[in-house]
Amino acid sequence: MRALIAGNWKMNGLTEDAKALAAGLKALDGQGESSAELLVCPPFPYLGLVAQQLAGSRIALGGQDCHGAAAGAHTGDTAAPMLRDIGCSYVILGHSERRADHGETDVQVRGKAESALAAGLVPIVCVGETEQERNAGQALNVIARQVKGSVPAGMEAERLVVAYEPVWAIGTGRTATPADVVEVHTEIRRLLVGLVGEGAQSVRILYGGSVKPDNAAELLSQANVDGALVGGASLKAEDFWAIARSA
């Protein structure tokens, strides 16, 4: 299975930052030092600009969210067909920051995933427990609830990516241990079998949560870890590329 290294730029940077970062990634891509599939998800205002900068490279473009409807009176939202129209092939859905900041539920995330699939996008469905939930021994229960509630059942496995991002490791510098990652990813794989059948073996499961050049190789070598969803380190072209080379 080809690894996917996805960069989530979140709400960072202005026009010149986006241009410089995209140009730096395209230059590194030209060196052909990574066999992984590469993806960047810039802020919405810069999707078109980044698409232009990356033209001719192997780097795919993705959105950071989409609405569950294909069109309509939803001020401030972006529809999946719009993302597809501007050149996106992926979209991140159900990220813990969306769930926390905007109160997104599993049902809403599943609706967005269904809309993304209908538009021809690959949804990256995010799941992850808080520190309080992990300390209470509820991590696997939380993951099970989110996977079962957020992933559309019966979908084609090759059109799905799941990302495990323990909330307590996002942007904190803390990283789940390899044993923690393997335990959760193995459980996600088991749950996916019940949702998409034996094709679940071809679903890529990414790890996210303070992934950096110095820990990427160890994390990416673990069982059922098929790539990484990278936050802060994706804002530096060299760091993102070092993670990609680790795959």
What residues are labeled active site? 95, 165
Closest by CA to 131, choosing from 172, 163, 83, 75, is 172
Q: Quote the tokens at residue 59.
A: 């780097």
Q: Quote the tokens at residue 174.
A: 């803390």
Alpha carbons 79 and 76: distance in angstroms, whole number: 10
Q: Answer for the pair 65, 112: CB distance below 8 angstroms, yes or no.
A: yes
Alpha carbons 82 and 71: distance in angstroms, whole number: 9
Q: Per residue in 194-212, is it b (16+ CB within 10 Å) or e — as a string?
A: ebbeebbeebbbbbbbbbb
Burial class (CB in 10 A: 0-12, 13-18, 19+), 131: middle
